[in-house]
Amino acid sequence: MKSVPTGSALSGKKIIDLSRVLGGPYCSQVLADHGAEVLKIEPPRGDETRAWGPPFHEGDAAYYIGVNRNKRSLGLDLTMPEGRDLLLRLLEGADILLENFKPGSMEKWGLGYEEVLRARFPRLIHCRISGFGADGPLGGYPGYDAIVQAMAGWFSVNGEAGGKPTRLGVAMVDMGTGLYSAVAILMALAERERSGLGQFIDMTLYDCAVALMHPHIVNYKLSGKVPVATGNAHPNISPYDTYRTRTVDIFIGAGNDAAFAKLSELLGCPELATDVRFVKNIDRVTHRADLKAELESRLMKIDGAALCNRLLEAGLPAGPIHDTAQVVAHPHTQHRGINLEEGWYRMTGTPIKFSRTPGSLRRLPPRFGQHSREILEEYGLNADQVQVLIDAGVVLETRRRD
């Protein structure tokens, strides 16, 4: 596998990643793609997403494979004192500790940031991802993406108008928290350049989900009106919705009055731009149903895919509604290099495009404990010492199934 390019944005940074499932692994993969060395420390039963399939490749689910490239795996039992001693050894020289244990777990094991880690590793950045944090009315409770979507209001604004509250089909609470966490870690690294000190980062799914509820929460705070699901229509802009055409359903977004006038002209109905119901955005939002009927009466006679191309060429945002297979096969997906393929590995590549320090695929997602011996020998243990730890069940090379 390729070595870390010396020009990678995060080359030389070391992450001890104790996280599992999605938010934490997604965060560390973003950083690993750009040169950070990530040691994925897995509990005896492994990252549970290894079993979240089908589909599988050699026993590991696509769910796991998709967020764990460019990492090495070490199986370690942190419930054993010897395992905790090994973790402290691994933290020597590490820049970042990432974990998503239930709040209080690290403290119970004698590894709390305030109690132990801050003094022992003053430059360490310790990022914890949890459902709700350690304190407050929900402090310490477990949180999964869908549960937090429900509790943070996402269900209530998703789905068809008048329909039942609906889960968003993408795990954006987990992934959004992973992205926020990556941003927070990079901020802490930048601050450490000035202060020379690390710090604790307290990230929660709940905070991130509430922060991502834009514009619904800000609309409510200014209007006092509780937002509801509006289907594909935008609560603040019109036209910004799906529309039927003769061939395919499409999405059109005309975000200002000039764009709407241009859209009306291109559709051969310039009179709509001067109709009193549609002159200003507030008028179009108020009369959204009338506007949709007017537009669809014309769009139903038109080839939607060809129209989208015409609108895009005219500078108006529009696009056909694609399924996953169409997205993967699309020429622009290919052009942007977002389909990452190496042998059997066919996943989504990094969307971050640097001009001088591009991300790269250096390691395929590791099998459980694949690098346990290699990592520990790098930290000064000899082969006999590693074998003793494996025989004692402190270090693992295969997942525990009991």
pLDDT for 239-293, tens place per residue? 999 999 999 999 999 989 999 999 999 999 999 999 999 999 999 999 999 999 9
CATH code (residue 260): 3.30.1540.10
Which of 276, 296, 320 lies at the terminal end of a domain, its last residue?
320
Tens-of-pLDDT digits for all 402 residues of the chain? 465 566 799 999 999 999 999 999 999 999 999 999 999 999 999 999 999 999 999 999 999 999 999 999 999 999 999 999 999 999 999 999 999 999 999 999 999 999 999 999 999 999 999 999 999 999 999 999 999 999 999 999 999 999 999 999 999 999 999 999 999 999 999 999 999 999 999 999 999 999 999 999 999 999 999 999 999 999 999 999 999 999 999 999 998 999 999 999 999 999 999 999 999 999 999 999 999 999 999 999 999 999 999 999 999 999 999 999 999 999 999 999 999 999 999 999 999 999 999 999 999 999 999 999 999 999 999 999 999 999 999 999 999 987
Whose structure tokens read 């494979």? 65
Q: Could you tell me if 306 and 350 lie in one domain? A: no
Residue 201 lies in a domain: yes
DSSP labels, 189-245: HHHHHHH----EEEEEHHHHHHHT-TTHHHHHHHH-PPP---TTS-SS-SSEEEE--
Q: Could you tell me if 189 and 52 lie in one domain? A: yes
Residue 112 lies in a domain: yes
Residue 9 lies in a domain: no
Residue 203 lies in a domain: yes
Q: Which amino acid is at 358?
A: P
Residue 6 lies in a domain: no
Q: Are strands 71-76 and 395-396 parallel, antiparallel or unpaired?
A: antiparallel
Which of 274, 291, 320 lies at the terminal end of a domain, its last residue?
320
Residue 229 lies in a domain: no
pLDDT at position 401, please?
Answer: 87
Q: Could you tell me if 201 and 159 lie in one domain? A: yes
Q: Could you tell me if 49 and 123 lie in one domain? A: yes
Element (H, E) at 184: helix 172-195
69: three-class secondary structure by DSSP: coil
Q: Could you tell me if 280 and 353 lie in one domain? A: no
Residues 371 and 74 sit within 8 Å (Cβ to Cβ): yes
Which of 269, 287, 320 lies at the terminal end of a domain, its last residue?
320
Q: Could you tell me if 307 and 342 lie in one domain? A: no
Tokens encoding 24: 């934490």
Q: Which residues are catalytic?
A: 174
Full domain range(s) for residue 313: 250-320
Q: How far apart are CA 33 and CA 279, in angstroms?
A: 48
Q: Could you tell me if 191 and 50 lie in one domain? A: yes
Q: Could you tell me if 55 and 186 lie in one domain? A: yes
Residues 372 and 395 sit within 8 Å (Cβ to Cβ): yes
Q: Could you tell me if 24 and 104 lie in one domain? A: yes
Q: Could you tell me if 178 and 38 lie in one domain? A: yes
Residue 299 lies in a domain: yes
Q: Could you tell me if 195 and 278 lie in one domain? A: no
Q: Could you tell me if 178 and 315 lie in one domain? A: no
Residue 245 lies in a domain: no
CATH code (residue 374): 3.40.50.10540
Residues 295 and 243 sit within 8 Å (Cβ to Cβ): yes
287: three-class secondary structure by DSSP: coil
Residues 47 and 68 sit within 8 Å (Cβ to Cβ): yes
Region of 315 on the Ramachandran plot (φ > 0 left; ψ -120 to 50 alpha; else beta): left
Question: What's the whole-model pTM score?
Answer: 0.93
Q: How far apart are CA 95 and CA 395, in angstroms?
A: 23
Cis check for the bond before 55: say yes or no (omega within 30 of 0). yes
* Number of domains making up the chain: 2
